[in-house]
Amino acid sequence: MDPEALKKYSALHPKPAGLTLQYGTAGFRTKAEQLDHVMFRMGLLAVLRSRAVLSTIGIMVTASHNPEEDNGVKLVDPLGEMLHPTWEEYATQLANAEERELQKIITEICQKAAVNQDKDASVFIGRDTRPSSKKLSQSVIDGISVLGGQYHDYGLVTTPQLHYLVCCRNTQGQYGKATLEGYYEKLSKAFTELIRQSPSSGESQRHLKIDCANGIGALKLSEMEPYFPKEVLIHLYNDGTKEKLNHLCGADFVKVHQKPPRGLDMKPNERCCSFDGDADRIVYYYKDATGRFHLIDGDKIATLISIFLKELLAKVGQTLKMAVVQTAYANGSSTRYLEETLKVPVHCAKTGVKHLHHKAQEFDVGVYFEANGHGTVLFSKAAETKIRQLAKEEEDDEKRKAAKVLENMIDLINQTIGDAISDMLVIEAILALKGLTVQQWDAVYTDLPNRLLKVQVADRRVIDTADAERRAVTPPGLQERIDELVKKYKLSRAFVRPSGTEDVVRIYAEADTQENADALAHEVSLAVYHLAGGKGAPPQP
């Protein structure tokens, strides 16, 4: 490491005085103009991480569903997973260090993590379509270069594509070819094989309207379109040519506001979906004949995938263990349907994709989705080997066919992370193979009415939770009060959890009617206000 070069380059990417940032589930995210130093330093960190694990590391410049003025950065570990928690702490230390301490902190990280500075380092870089992303990814490159790392800049890619590319590279091509063409070919081949087996294959065209949040999803879907079978017609809206990224559109907007995005004209019973800004989340929706809007969120997507996989696993006749992982925000009706009707075990994990991903790895087949539409399916090595073997060698026709469908599903699913493009193709294939309309899918179960609220508090740390955030351990008396309130309503539950980013407490309540869900949420918000140090005026109903 050349201390003089580090000093010189670091001065070109100065840290604004008094700014401290925290590496969270989504990496670093804030206003774009405050991120130049962070990008440079994450370039440095990626080189250290690469030398520590002797593998290629990914850096994605994106702020996902945040407004266009924001930006952010997250690191991708060797198998396409999120950065290791210990290194999240290193990231925070490095981002917040004063310039004169940089050298010292890098040396400390090298000692703690046994980093050999003489090893080769390799970093893959990707970015979204924000106006600030190109310049910020140049700052990343400066950081990589100062420490003598090699890099490949993939330019504009979706977040899941970068995760995929990193995984391909570090599995020496076992997971696929580490190029965008490789990604398009692998997914479209599996998708085409699945669609060709559907009952109505070749007769009717399947139309799908996609709101691309004015983001990277539009660019990549149009690149991928030539690879799609001709039975499938996608229509792109909010493609980024006219409007701002994520403005009144995208998966997050649709989920939060429970209404269609701007710029997409919906006719009754048409299948529509929305990606978020970096294309790692997806939600579906439609309008019924009376004009009522129906949202199909991550819970219902997980349910559809589970129904399909469970049928196939039963046909194959293997004793593979399947489970669904949700968070406390999953609608109670989905949990009930999965456990009682489908007889699939459901596990609850803390909010945040990394917690769900980690839990899902415990099963042969682990389906995980957050209600916001971020999720995927994981297959254990053993399950995958078994399924591929059966698809090749099984003598019973029915079993072999089912194994072949499972094999195509394995290839179509991006197992590194939630991927809107991959998830969309999985859903389209399942609906075609099962001959389901969007209304029939929606009717599998009816969501319990629910309400999300937040209460401002002086210090969010006064609330501590247990049982995957479903119970409040502190402050004393709060959980007892919530338990009393929940008893007043039918089919009800409620929980509170501190926000990961601001001094607010988030409240979720559900009950048999919207009126009861609203009343319960309000009563719980009052309890939080009085027992957990609420700020400002008490919550109004």
Report the pLDDT value the prediction gives residue 25, as an integer from 0 to 100: 80
279 annotated to a ligand binding site: no
The answer to whether 532 and 460 are in contact (CB under 8 A) is no
Q: What is the pLDDT of residue 201?
A: 57
Residue 468 CB neighbour total at 10 angstroms: 19
Residue 280 labeled ligand binder: yes
List the CATH code of the domain at 177-447. 3.40.120.10
Q: Name residue 505's amino acid.
A: V
What is residue 203's predicted lDDT score, i.e. its pLDDT? 55
How many Å apart are CA 364 and CA 496, to the nearest integer?
Answer: 32
How does DSSP classify residue 330? S
414 is in an annotated binding site: no
CB 121 within 8 A of CB 55: no
For residue 268, whether the previous peptide bond is cis, meaning omega lies within 30 degrees of 0, is no
Residue 502 confidence (pLDDT): 76
500 is in an annotated binding site: yes
- Give me the pLDDT at residue 230, please: 86
Q: Is 64 a catalytic residue?
A: yes
The pLDDT value given to residue 2: 87
Structure tokens at 325: 């992982």
Furthest CA-CA distance within the chain: 70
d(CA 189, CA 408): 8
Tell me which CATH homologous superfamily contains domain 450-532. Alpha-D-phosphohexomutase, C-terminal domain (3.30.310.50)
Task: Tell me: is residue 372 an annotated ligand-binding position.
Answer: yes
Which regions of the chain are under pLDDT 70? 200-204, 501
Contact present, 310 and 342 (Cβ < 8 Å): yes
pTM (2 decimals)?
0.94
Catalytic residue among 10, 50, 55, 64: 64
What are the two backbone dihedrals, phi and then psi, of residue 495, each rounded to the nearest 5 degrees?
-150, 160
Ligand-binding site membership of 193 (annotated):
no
Q: Is 32 annotated as a binding residue?
A: no
Q: Tell how strand 150-156 and strand 70-76 pair up.
A: unpaired
User: What does the pLDDT read at residue 352?
Assistant: 86
pLDDT at 362: 97
The b/e string for 498-508 (b: 16+ C-beta within 10 A; e otherwise) is beeeeebbbbb
- Predicted confidence at residue 253, as pLDDT, reads 94
**Topology (CATH) of 3-156:** Alpha-D-Glucose-1,6-Bisphosphate; Chain A, domain 3 (3.40.120)
Question: So where are the chain's domains?
Answer: 3-156, 177-447, 450-532
Equal CATH topology for 3-156 and 450-532: no
3-state percent helix, strand, coil for the chain, nearest multiple of 5: 45, 20, 35
- Residue 1's pLDDT is 73
Calculate the alpha carbon distances from 399 to 146, 232, 408, 426 in Å. Answer: 56, 28, 14, 21
